[in-house]
Structure 1
Amino acid sequence: MADQLHTHHRQRVLERFRRFGLAAFADHEVLELLLFFAIPRADTNGTAHRLLERFGSLHAVLEAPAAQLQQVEGIGPRAADLLTLCFALVSRYQMDVDRMEQYSEPLNNAERIGAYFIPQLQTEREEVLLAAYLDGAGRVIKCEEVARGGRSHVQVDPYKIASGALFCQAAGVAIAHNHPNGAARPSEQDLRVTAELESALRGLGIELVDHCIVARDKFCSVKRIRAAQQYIPITRR
């Protein structure tokens, strides 16, 4: 009977979270909910109150070392690990947000796209393909490494890039790869792959904003080359 009561109570708490989020929860209820995932059957409400009494606030609980957390009745190694993981995750989240905000300007022209990709590719000794998924304003939603090859070739998988764009609900994609031992100039294969990817994305209603090729501190825009039918190296200043 006690197990059934705990189960029904947990279901109600979880349903309240799904409907209203944490805004509908007091601090002890936030801890109670969190501890559901580390303490399978026991009543975590009392443990949550004891944590707040011991440390004084929600943030102090999350910042507390695992050894101190385990001094509280009801907190074992698994629960302590979960609480410290949550704090570490918040820190990691903020670091990631800060990193992305460094590139808050929209990638809506060749110079900005080149400036975005050069620092990520100029020291690579192998060819690496990156894809930046963009929102409707050209801001980066996510940037990921799509492929890594040898010193003179990297395989482009249009399906993988299209899948990544759909997953991010992106409006556009900017891709880039490097020529470690070459010039910032597209090969015939680069031009062909660009056209194939552009066609695949267009069929999904997604724009291929540009394909950037990086060689040390220089880059070229395949889109610009195709439009002007000439190559002009651009040196980042």
Structure 2
Amino acid sequence: MAEQLHQNHRERVLEKFRRFGLDVFSDHEVLELLLFFAIPRVDTNPTAHRLLARFGSLHAVLEAPVEQLCEVQGIGPRSADLLKLSFAMCARYQQDVAKSERHSDKLNSYEKIGEYFVPQFAGEQDEVLLAAYLDGAGRVIKCEEVARGGHAHVPVDAYKIASGALICHAAGVAVAHNHPNGTATPSEADMLATRRLEQTLTGLGLQLVDHCVVARGKYVSICKLRTGQIGQRR
């Protein structure tokens, strides 16, 4: 019975985290939750309190050497390793975010979008449709091939593109396709497909940032063209 009550307590704590995140947790509750994954079938709440009493704060617990952590009652090598791994993951996360901020492509202008896509079509003999899923700042979260057609046509599957954007939690999408045997001038079918794609994305709260047509190292921005400007780079 006691074990069942303890299991129910763990499930309640986990459900609380799933619903609200860590913002509603006190520091000892954060440690209690984390220790669930290293210490099965034992109440980790007293251990969490002992850690904070020994080291004084959550960050000090995570920064403590393994040897000192293991001196706390209830903490063994596995628990200490988990605490150190959590701290290391936080550092790695911050490094990765900083790296992304420095190096990630920001597709926040028609020119940058064109320059981003043009090299990706080099040597292509088929028409290919690419979609770049963007965050709110225009950084590329992911770029993927959405469809591949023949020499003169590639389908623009608006729902597939929208699904990819939602999976990536994107704020916007930039798409591009090539005309391997022609010019970068958009066809009427390209213009219509762009309107349909834009309507689908808008209905889901997403932005179509641009649709580029690429041919022979040049590009035309359909979205820029629709504003009455010349979208071709020479």
Band of TM-score, shorter chain = 0.5 to 0.7
Asked if 1:84 corresponds to 2:84, the answer is: yes
Letter in 2 for 1:41: R
Query: Secondary structure in 2 aligned to 1:203?
Result: helix
The aligned residue for residue 131 of structure 1 is: 132
Query: Secondary structure in 1 aligned to 2:9?
Result: helix
Encode CA deviations 1:48-102: one digit per residue, 9 max, x unaligned. Answer: 2333344442112223455654454433454334323322332343345445656
Cα distance, 1:40–1:213 mapped onto 2, change above 3 Å: farther
CA contact (8 A) 1:114 1:212 kept: yes
> Kindly, what percent of the aligned residue pairs are identical?
53
For 1:47 and 1:141, the matched residues in 2 are separated by: 42
The aligned residue for residue 48 of structure 1 is: 48
Give, in angstroms, the shift of residue 202 of structure 1: 1.9
Moved more, 85-94 or 17-26: 17-26
The aligned residue for residue 37 of structure 2 is: 37
Query: Secondary structure in 2 aligned to 1:140?
Result: coil
The aligned residue for residue 110 of structure 2 is: 110
Give, in angstroms, the shift of residue 233 of structure 1: 1.7
- Between Structure 1 and Structure 2, how many residues are aligned? 222
The aligned residue for residue 186 of structure 1 is: 184
For 1:212 and 1:65, the matched residues in 2 are separated by: 54
Letter in 1 for 2:193: E
Encode CA deviations 1:102-156: one digit per residue, 9 max, x unaligned. Answer: 679883x4135457x47xx869988794513355xxx33762021399xxx9997
Q: Where does the alignment leave 5 or more consecutive residues of structure 2 unmatched?
A: none
For 1:156 and 1:176, the matched residues in 2 are separated by: 10
* Pick aligned residue for 1:203 from 200, 203, 207: 200
CA contact (8 A) 2:131 2:146 kept: no
For 1:157 and 1:71, the matched residues in 2 are separated by: 59
Q: Where does the alignment leave 5 or more consecutive residues of structure 1 unmatched?
A: none
CA contact (8 A) 1:173 1:208 kept: yes
